[in-house]
Amino acid sequence: MPRLLHPHAAHVADTLIARGHHGVIVTQPAPTHSAETAAETLGVQPGAIVKSLVFLLDDEPVLLLVSGAHEVNLAAAGGRLQGTLVRAPLDIAREVTGQPIGGIAPLGHPTNLPTYLDTALAEFPELWAAAGHPDTVFRTTFRELLRVTAGLAVEMD
């Protein structure tokens, strides 16, 4: 019997479809809480995993979509975004995304977060991002992710 999608993942699928994406969500056998674990499970390089991370840019929440092979250089990325960038507390990340930590998708949030994509993601022909729950992902491309999130490309390191 097929498993039903978690409600968060179903909402992400609906949002993807509304924005012209195929909306196919893949459910993993177990949660993948790190880019390395997700990459291993999917058989891809860690850099092809999209980490959806909430930061505060001058105290306002923003979403950074970062390559699984990178960590955000707060000073450099903050300078490129013309502000002070700090990691958001977990409670704020959950509140502004409406999704659990470890499963935050690039979209489908209750508020429209300003979204910035790591330019390093463009190196990969296929990307995988969380789909609103720690055991769900969806496949996309850099250009498609820019489009469906209305994001801007920025160097993160």
Asked whether the beta carbons of 125 and 2 are under 8 A apart, the reply is: no
Give the global pTM: 0.94
Question: What are the pLDDT digits (tens) for 74-133?
Answer: 999 999 999 999 999 999 999 999 999 999 999 999 988 999 999 999 999 999 999 999
Catalogue all structural domains in the chain, each as residue range(s) with its CATH number: 7-154 (3.90.960.10)
HEC readout, the chain: CCCCCCHHHHHHHHHHHHCCCCCCCEECCCCCCCHHHHHHHHCCCHHHEEEEEEEEECCEEEEEEEECCCCCCHHHHHHHCCCCEEECCHHHHHHHHCCCCCCCCCCCCCCCCCEEEEHHHHHCCCEEEECCCCCEEEEECHHHHHHHHCCEEECCC
Two tokens, residue 115:
């979204």
Region 64-68: mean pLDDT is 97
Asked whether the beta carbons of 87 and 121 are under 8 A apart, the reply is: no
In the block, which residue shows the tokens 């969500």?
25
